[in-house]
Amino acid sequence: MKIVDIERILLDVPFTERQQRITRRTVYNWSLLELCRVTTDTGHVGWGETVPHYTHQRVTDTIVERALGAPAAQLLYDDSIGAGLQMALFDVMGKALQVPVYRILGTAVRQATPISWWCSHSGPEDWAAESTEAVQSGYTGLKTKPRPWWDVFAQVEAVSKATPDHFRIDMDPNGTLDNAATAIPILRRLAEFDRVAMFETPIPQKDILGNRQIRRSVARPIAMHFGSPPFLTAVREEVCDGFVINGGASRVLREGILAAEVAMPFWLQLVGNGLTTTWAAHLGAVLSHATWPTISCINLYSHHLLTQPIAVQGGYQSVPDKPGLGVEVDIAAVERYRVSADALASVQAGQLYAHPPPRLINTIHYPDGDSVHVAQLGAASVHHGPGWSSGVHVVTREDDDSKDFADLYQRVQYAPVSDRPSNGTE
């Protein structure tokens, strides 16, 4: 069974209304998706999906040239061919063999896999609103991005008030707690909330001594991305309780098996829409220790691009049992969200198509009255005020075409701009 055609289709799938506003500060380009449609000489068709601004490997012209004419089975476990093409090959192979993808990947240990709602950093009200919608959609947990410029305790309290007692929060500071001395008091206080289930990468993962100290001092599991520090070091030094695993099929299966050998759980982090979320379910079905909720971020999208949207019940999604990925792509939706050929050409030429950066000024307000204006809310912002404080919050200002906005916007492109309240003296 040889590959005779590979079509790449660039889409721009709108986020939900609230997430459009939240993600303008961070991951707005994740709305861009590239679908990969593979046809074989047997007439079988498979579909895959890439998030060009996130996925571990994009599908390039060179990869397409290498794949055309090759046996589909030959490239199946080659992670270098790109997320969308590899996914499509598993889909087409399953259809040809009349088996679901998970049977090609291994032996199923579960028929449903845990999955979490996802939200980037935002105010307590948005976290509460997202959590409410998550509960209504069948989810039992929220994966969040706490940051030094939001009152993390107010965020957790807001989610706790808005959701039933069984709802849990996983928190990923992405290393912004800096070091163990800063992190431990904050994490201990957060651990007093029953809703807080675990922490991912509270400080930089290369800090082995600091992470080991955190793990011994905080009464919640600590998750770290697999491979940093090296696997054997992470296990020997006991720096974490489990892992975050992502990448292509070969890498995910290899790392999942290694985690199982040392009896350490993990969550799969495979970001994308309906096809990616389904692919993650097939992988999770055969990996015994994929017991922490998958992170696919599918809740960002206003349409799953499938004829039947992904359904979640009790925090789990069912693993399809039909041939291939077991889902049907909604062709009408694909056409609705297709991006122009010119934009697609820029991706194929290696110039990554992207939305223009939104013209925003993010102002971090600190409880002592100071404020800092920044263009992007990156990790560097933590060093400009008393982070992780009660009452700290962000106000985002949209471009209002005023000279005042234009002047300040130009200044924050180079460096944060601090404002201090006047004390009434000269």
Residues 112-325: name the CATH superfamily.
Answer: Enolase-like C-terminal domain (3.20.20.120)
Is residue 349 helix, strand or coil? coil
Q: State which CATH number among 1.20.1250.20, 3.40.50.1100, 3.20.20.450, 3.30.390.10 fits the domain covering 3-100+333-348.
A: 3.30.390.10
pLDDT digits (tens, 9 = 90+) for 271-284: 999 999 999 999 99
Nearest to 412 by CA among 384, 385, 378, 375: 375
**What pLDDT, on a 0 to 100 scale, did the predictor assign at position 305?**
98
CA distances from residue 21 to 25, 28, 70, 249 in whole angstroms, order as listed: 8, 9, 44, 33
List, in sequence order, every residue forming a beta bridge with 242; answer none if it has no partner.
223
pLDDT at 424: 43
pLDDT class for 111, splitting at 50, 70, 90?
A: very high
Q: Spell out the domain ranges in the chain.
A: 3-100+333-348, 112-325, 360-419
Q: What are the tens digits of pLDDT across the range 215-239?
A: 999 999 999 999 999 999 999 999 9
The answer to whether the beta carbons of residues 132 and 163 sit under 8 Å apart is yes
Across the range 375-396, mean pLDDT stands at 77
Cα–Cα dist 315/297, whole Å: 14
CB of 254 within 8 A of CB of 74?
Answer: no
User: What is the residue-wise DSSP string for 162-223?
Assistant: HS-TT-EEEE--TTTT-SHHHHHHHHHHHTTSTTEEEEE-SS-TT-HHHHHHHHHH-SS-EE
What does the pLDDT look like over 66-83, one tens digit per residue? 999 999 999 999 999 999
pTM of the entire predicted model = 0.94
